[in-house]
Amino acid sequence: MRNSSPFLALSLLSAFIYTTSCAQHDDKKTSVSSETWEPQPRIITPGNNPGNAPSDALVLFDGANLDQWVSVIDGSAPKWTIKDGVFTVAPGTKDIVTKKEFNDFQLHVEWRSPAEVKADKTGQDRGNSGIFLHGQYEVQVLDSYDNKTYVNGQAGAIYKQHIPLVNASKKPGEWQVYEIIFTAPHFNKEGRVIVPAYVTVIHNGALAINHAAVWGSTENVGFPIYKTYEKGPIRLQDHQSLVSYRNIWIRDL
């Protein structure tokens, strides 16, 4: 048996080399089989600076005009004021809405509450506006810097539905940024919602709403409900506050 030991060792070494070789070969085959080469993602040009529109975006406000928007009252040109590449709510002229309707999208909005805070302006009376997705699901715009109000109505909230994970508000008069990802609800033939709308909101770089299911239209009074429809516009709210907007663009998903 002593004389057979070298042969046993050689046999074991050969088996190890063969097994290792097979394993490496199988790993290579597995690696190749899990690689996907088609379809290639579309090539787009990103914005040159943070917040600037990528090449496949529709610019809803470029600093010059409100040609992409109309008044919700009668479809006429908006009466909101434009100055120095910024447009501002004209209190009493009512909401404005995009001419185009959308399905799923990525929306970029920059907004600013008034720098001057009057002593009697607190809670919902400070820098109040809103961004309505599909014209009916409101992402709240509010001066929430050192301003106590109900938490499902502060900046970044899905109004009266979802509380933001954080309060990332800047001081009054400073520009704030929303990145909003929206997927539309789906309805069956009977008009019942089978997949709700979902919303993600990033407020000034911080995740505020994380893929939250919307319960229906956001109501000031009463409960949210869904009504069957296909697409919807973006609506900006006139809530009697001098809230300003700039650099708004949207990408169909």
Q: What is the CATH number of the domain that holds 93?
A: 2.60.120.560
Q: For the segment 108-128, what is each residue's pLDDT rounded down to a tens digit?
A: 999 999 999 988 899 999 999
User: Is 50 domain-assigned?
Assistant: no
Are 63 and 12 found together in one domain? no
- Residue 200 contacts residue 178 (beta carbons within 8 Å): no
The rounded distance, in Å, linking the Cα atoms of 139 and 153 is: 9
Instruction: Provide the domain count of the chain.
Output: 2
Any domain includes 45: no
Give the confidence band of 2 by pLDDT, cuts at 50, 70, 90.
very low
Do both 242 and 161 map to the same domain?
Answer: yes
Q: Residues of the chain with pLDDT > 70: what percent?
A: 88
What residues pair up with 236 in beta bridges, in sequence order?
96, 131
User: Has residue 47 been placed in a domain?
Assistant: no
Quote the pTM value: 0.86
- Contacts of 7-10 with C-beta under 8 Å, sequence gap 24+, read none
Residues 62 and 19 reside in one and the same domain: no
> Under 8 Å CB-to-CB from 201, ≥6 apart: which residues?
139, 156, 158, 164, 178, 179, 180, 207, 208, 209
Q: Which domain holds residue 9?
A: 2-33
Q: What is the pLDDT of residue 68?
A: 98
Considering the domain architecture, whether residues 29 and 62 belong to the same structural domain is answered as: no
Is 161 among the domain residues? yes
pLDDT at 8 exceeding the cut of 90: no
For 168-205, write each residue's pLDDT tens digit. 999 999 999 999 999 999 999 999 999 999 999 999 99
Q: What's phi and psi for 123, nearest 5 deg?
A: 60, -130
